[in-house]
Structure 1
Amino acid sequence: MRNTTRHVATARADQFSDPSLLVLASLADGPKHGYAMIEEIERMSGQRLGPGTLYGAITRLDQQGLIEALAVEDRRQPYKLTAVGRRVLRARLLAMQQVALVGLRKLEAR
């Protein structure tokens, strides 16, 4: 059996993140192109998404109507949240907040 205390103590934020959620969160304050999203996501989560992971998430989110491409600027393709994307992001963040609050209460009760 492995030492779970050590495993938890060394767990990184990227083990608990979803690239699609990170892309949505990075666009919450306005449009960004891919490189700007990579930088913002790293600042926000400590995780640096590779181009394949980032553009895979962008493609899925675009197909789902949660983000949309804007006009190309200087060879860069910016994206923005759609109204539906903003609602989905808000709902996911509120659900995560609820789980975190309940989990923290349970930990404190022990």
Structure 2
Amino acid sequence: MTKREMREPTFMVLSVLAQGPQHGYALLGETKKLSGGRVTLQPGTLYASLDRLKEEGLVRVVREEIVDSRMRRYYELTDTGADELTEEVQRLEANVKIAKAGLSLRPAGGVA
């Protein structure tokens, strides 16, 4: 089975969780910060993504607590999630290498 490319929001969520467990609300801010503002997730989108990632075994809930009468779930990256993130990083690095090689051959100012 061929793996599909990881979408940038998923990549960013997994990258944030690689740093340690986070609750959903913190993930919203950290994902935006880590992506330089390119990825701004809405709460509904984030929680749907977390449910999917949990089903795929890439993240898990490590604890829950009640804060201001609301349930707060903390998620962490699983070993499978770390492996998937590592594979995606390697895929992206290979693509960057190809692009850099092509750009280094490009004549200054474009084709004459």
- Normalising by structure 1, we get a TM-score of 0.79
Q: Give the structure 2 partner of residue 44 of structure 1.
A: 34
Write out per-residue CA displacement over residues 72-95 of structure 1, whole angstroms, 9 at most, x where no aligned residue.
Answer: 133310000111111111111111
Instruction: Looking at secondary structure, tell me which structure has more strand per residue.
Output: 2
Moved over 3 A (4+): none
State which structure, 1 or 2, has the greater radius of gyration over its C-alpha atoms: 2
Instruction: Looking at secondary structure, tell me which structure has more helix per residue.
Output: 1
Paired residues in the alignment total 94
Q: Give the structure 2 partner of residue 81 of structure 1.
A: 77
How far apart, in 2, do the equivalents of 1:80 and 1:27 lie? 6
Q: Give the structure 2 partner of residue 107 of structure 1.
A: 103
Write out per-residue CA displacement over residues 10-57 of structure 1, whole angstroms, 9 at most, x where no aligned residue.
Answer: xxxxxxx52221111110010001111111111111122111221121
How far apart, in 1, do the equivalents of 2:77 and 2:98 lie? 29
Structure 2: tracts of 5 or more residues without a match: 1-6, 107-112
Q: Percent identity?
A: 35
Q: Counterpart amino acid of 2:42?
A: G
Q: Give the structure 1 partner of residue 52 of structure 2.
A: 60
Q: Give the structure 1 partner of residue 24 of structure 2.
A: 34
